[in-house]
A and B are shown apart, each in its own frame.
Chain A
Amino acid sequence: MEILHYTFMQNALIAGILVSLAAGIIGSLIVVNRLVFLTGGVAHSSYGGIGMAIYFGLPIFLGASLFTVATALLLAWLTFKKRHLSDTYIGLIWAVGMAIGVIFVDLTPGYNTDLMSYLFGSILAVQRSDLWFMGALLAVVLFAVHHWYREFLAISYDSDYAALRGIPTGRFYTLLLILSALTVVVAIKVVGLILVLALMTIPTHIASHRSGTLYGMMMLSALLAALFTLIGLWLSYRYDLTSGACIILAAAAGLVLESLWRLGQKA
């Protein structure tokens, strides 16, 4: 366990756990609301925020958060009434966001950023200050899903009926998109914006087979996400591989094992 003596490794572990818990919880809501593609659009467009933050010399987290929340609000507004048209808008914002990021990085004099580290994460470069941001986000996520659990459950299961019973469905839809946007932003450091979707969906998919309630599904997928992150980090350290990819493949292996297990039970 000598690897735990390094500060960067400690930071990586804490970051991995914080982000996994948030991703597992929000991922469950994303999956049951069928918003995976939408979250993918938000995740990729966040590169626009990263590019702008680099150009204007802002902290990356701040720039990415502001930009991504703005994107989420735009998408919430565009898709709430017309969910069937949403894939068009999502595809559009997906590409435009990334293009904005690339252009701003081009415009930044003398800056030779490593795009790959944002696409696939750089968990070993996590700073102490990043951990505060991640911890705060996890606290917000935990508060929101506990305080508004019934509302989230109602709009996720039967949005029309929820509206009829006086729940402001549009507001909760927007809140969910904002929370997922922020989760995506913090997850970028850990697994990168391409792989964040897998961290939000694979543990959730496994958990959906194993839980009878939405609450159980959120908690189980949070724990699974944390477990896969730890396994992935160890693999990454042991064999000197990209951490984000290791985490995702650990999760994928978990999914395969769980599927085989279920097949075995059925037979």
Chain B
Amino acid sequence: MNVLHVENLYFAYDREPVLQGVNLQVDEHEFVAIIGPNGGGKSTLLKLIMGELLPNEGTITVLGKSPREARQEIGYVPQNTNVNLDFPIRVLDVVMMGNPKQHRETVNWWERLFPVRYNSVEKRCAYTTLQKVGMEAYLDRRIGELSGGQRQRVMIARALCAHPKLLILDEPTSSIDVEGQKQIYALLKELSRDLTILVVSHDLSVITEYADKAVYVNRSSYTHDLRRSPIHLQQPEGEHFCEIELMQMLAEKTCNCEHHAGRKEES
């Protein structure tokens, strides 16, 4: 099934063109990585997919609907989860935030009028969602007490709470340590059995180890199917392997196109 279909998308902030002729096709249960330079339009593309912005030209369909109509079926994990750390809020409350209208169908009039407590259906939902990310033991902990990686898992649980069919993550590992990053991606890989995953990342291991497709976005877009031509990173001991080299490798292997990781392409 077609989860996300972007065709010939154009978008500009005021007069500044950001995306020009982007095409993207994501099928069910795919794990897709969006890569590309900063300022290349990755975040803008996400906002368009989630219906926060409207395209100037072209079409976006999410699960066969317009982005706004599909909003309830999209789960989103924002980039920075280290905000408001001293806020008095438990893991349970954060997870429930993912589905704020859930209680409306499931409880009596009094609880509908004053929905301060969670009912048993909601609690069970939160618990099973936290189980999926391995954080069910932390239900009653304050969010600020968790490590960056743990907090990121809770944010993923929050996104899963609304039972999305498409899960979008914006650089989910940018603020956590290497070990935590690996765990997050392994988790996402597991989740991709049940849902479709779209992740913006600068993390090379995502592209080489986990993703089915890599989409390079820099004003326009190129899609590399990694299942057809897998990339095996042979990183020499102690040497740094950077994104630019990966781009070149992707280009050689899959489409003979030229990618530049460091600057905007001339249009």
Interface set of A (CB-CB < 8 Å, partner B):
32, 146-147, 149-151, 153-154, 156-158, 160-162, 164-167, 208, 211-217
Query: Which B residues between 68 and 123 are near A, CB-CB below 8 angstroms?
Result: 71-72, 76, 78, 83-84, 86-90, 93-94, 96-101, 113-116
Q: Apart from A149-B116, A164-B76, A166-B101, what 12 extra A-B contacts exist at CB < 8 Å? A: A147-B114, A154-B100, A157-B94, A161-B78, A161-B97, A162-B97, A164-B50, A165-B98, A166-B100, A212-B140, A213-B89, A216-B88
Across-interface contacts of A146 in B (CB, < 8 A) = 113-114, 116
Across-interface contacts of B115 in A (CB, < 8 A) = 147, 149-150
Chain A: which residue is nearest B141 at the CB level? A212
Distance, CA A165 to CA B86, complexed state (A): 23
Interface set of B (CB-CB < 8 Å, partner A):
50, 52, 71-72, 76, 78, 83-84, 86-90, 93-94, 96-101, 113-116, 140, 142, 158, 162
Q: A146-B114, A149-B116, A164-B71 are in contact. Are A214 and B88 (CB under 8 A)?
A: yes
Across-interface contacts of A151 in B (CB, < 8 A) = 100
Distance, CA A147 to CA B88, complexed state (A): 19
Tell me the minimal C-beta distance from B205 to chain A in angstroms.
27
Q: A165-B98, A166-B71, A212-B140 are in contact. Are A153 and B50 (CB under 8 A)?
A: no
Across-interface contacts of B83 in A (CB, < 8 A) = 158
Contact A212 B76, beta carbon cutoff 8 Å:
no
Distance, CA A214 to CA B87, complexed state (A): 8
Tell me the minimal C-beta distance from B35 to chain A in angstroms.
23
Contact B93 A213, beta carbon cutoff 8 Å:
yes
Distance, CA A140 to CA B87, complexed state (A): 25
Interface of B is mostly: loop
Of B52, B87, B114, B140, the residue contacting A157 (CB under 8 A) is: B87
Across-interface contacts of A216 in B (CB, < 8 A) = 88
Contact B86 A153, beta carbon cutoff 8 Å:
no
Q: 26 A-B contacts, Cβ less than 8 Å apart?
A: A149-B114, A150-B97, A150-B115, A157-B84, A157-B87, A157-B94, A157-B97, A158-B84, A160-B78, A161-B97, A162-B97, A164-B50, A164-B52, A165-B98, A165-B99, A165-B100, A166-B72, A166-B101, A211-B88, A212-B140, A212-B142, A213-B89, A213-B93, A214-B87, A215-B116, A216-B88
Distance, CA A213 to CA B86, complexed state (A): 11
Contact A213 B72, beta carbon cutoff 8 Å:
no
Across-interface contacts of A149 in B (CB, < 8 A) = 114-116
Chain A: which residue is nearest B101 at the CB level? A166
Across-interface contacts of A154 in B (CB, < 8 A) = 97, 100
Across-interface contacts of A150 in B (CB, < 8 A) = 96-97, 100, 115
